[in-house]
Chains A and B, each alone.
Chain A
């Protein structure tokens, strides 16, 4: 099978205006401009097969969106060859756009004032979706997430979760071969996140759509992607199956507790509680050598390695001893994983 996205030795450099300091500098800038070259993407090669779901990760400014812009035809690479669906994307942006879908978690691409179904009808015309395909997709969407009840609601009246859901449905409406998703679950609660993940996974499987997912939430990648590509400072630093990374994020869980206060001096008390919990867990879980208990402002924070002690057991032990007022299970950010990769020397 031919890869659906082929990038070989792609470079992208931007010309950035070098600004001089001070008022004198600003005036000088008006007359003579000095540019520096900023290499956003450096010798990136990537083959993505049809139907793959790839987690494309990296810290802010690593070159993620530059790469995505090159794949979508918005940007032209400075050097190297790129083919998407067998076409050079920047040479024909509109033709390429016909075969791709794009989802942004934070900004909707639907018409703000219109009911979703009207946006869909306009998209049907823009993408020239055949009646049959359009009808089938709407039915399938309804079956999948009960989208029917959202169709007549205006986008501006929707919750963020509903809007994201509709944006994803809209991106798949014309049966694109590749869908790019940028932070699709950002700002959503746990149940909505899981709904979105299930939806994307179903769409990928039933339609065979290739999905490129950028996110800061390791949970998204874990739920959806078999393969992870990590880019940092414009270079691909990791491209492999997620399984090899699981030890860097799969085992560790961070959980925070707030306990019922019975003294005024809260600061001293949290420190005291942390000590208590530390002693308790050391006694209950002697094998858990890496288990960390720290104080985080008003919270007692636990870092649990699930290979040593199961998180639910730890929470259970804490609950037996203390009255918990509030609890927070933190998602693992991709940054943490990347940091651990560097520390662990996998590269």
Chain B
């Protein structure tokens, strides 16, 4: 029984239950739901317009065409959906810590990180997901990419692995709250990096290519995994390593977060 209790099925079941209830209650606050959906729509449309305007003036950026760039754009939106939907409570960590509410998460017989994150499911992420699918489908079509098994599988695995990087970055950034005051600015900074993830890292100079691959690995959030479909001739070893790096990176961020949580609950009242 103990084994079952710590198992994936147990947590999936609990998450599903919380999620369904959460959605139900969100739907019941209809105005709030509609406004936040519209807000998300506008944010995405605005981002898209900027993108479109740039390409009205430049037909290509470092040899990347409009539709290729659009592909990356859609890919990055999909890759950012999980962090938006499932890990949004990271943004509330600062408040939970300063108000002392965080301690209440320590008394349940389930994993602390899971319990904390399960509390918020951000439905706005779904709008982003739909937007991403649309953008991706459009550019896929325009680029005449084959709808093969290889490409579809590559897309799914690519998006899933790419999504791990933003999750990990946000975990790292929010966990800083356990040690320092004002870590929110770090979170905002890190979150801004997602905008750079939309561009092929080849447009940056060598220095930033290195930084975005190995220091703040946003290259993995779109560029490397999408090469698998978009530019088979340019696939690098990093493309294949994306899932491995992603899993390792998320695991490290989880350890860091838990370490912070443990040392935080060990201090003061």
Contact = CB atoms under 8 A, between A and B. Distances in A.
A100 B17 CA distance: 23
B46 interface: no
B104 A121 contact: no
B109 A98 contact: yes
Given A104-B104, A113-B22, A128-B5, A122 B109 contact: no
Contacts of A98: 109
Given A122-B18, A126-B110, A154 B25 contact: yes
A113 B25 CA distance: 6
A154 B267 CA distance: 33
A44 interface: no
**Would you call the interface of chain B mostly helix, strand, loop, or mixed?**
helix
Nearest to A119: B21
Contacts of B267: 14
Nearest to B26: A113
A118 interface: yes
The SS class assigned to the A binding surface is mixed
A126 B266 contact: no
Contacts of A194: none
A310 B100 CA distance: 43
A309 to B, nearest CB: 41
Contacts of B265: 69, 74-75
A100 B107 contact: yes
B234 interface: no
Candidate in B5, B25, B104, B267 with the most chain A CB atoms within 10 angstroms = B25
B56 interface: no
B108 interface: yes
Contact of B108 (A14, A111, A113, A126): A126
Nearest to A109: B104
A125 B17 contact: yes
B13 interface: yes
A108 to B, nearest CB: 8
Contacts of A94: 108-111
A95 interface: yes
Contacts of A72: 106-107
B233 interface: no
B62 interface: no
Interface in A69-83: 69, 72, 74-76
A322 to B, nearest CB: 44
B14 interface: yes
A122 B104 CA distance: 16
Nearest to A94: B109
Interface of A: 14, 61, 65, 69, 72, 74-76, 93-95, 97-98, 100, 102, 104, 107, 109, 111, 113-114, 118, 121-122, 125-128, 154
Q: Shortest 7 CB-CB distances between A and B: which pairs?
A: A97-B109, A113-B25, A98-B109, A102-B107, A94-B109, A118-B21, A74-B106
25 contacts: A14-B268, A61-B269, A72-B106, A72-B107, A74-B106, A74-B107, A74-B265, A76-B266, A93-B106, A94-B108, A95-B109, A97-B107, A97-B108, A100-B107, A102-B104, A107-B100, A107-B104, A111-B18, A111-B119, A121-B17, A122-B18, A122-B21, A125-B13, A125-B14, A126-B110
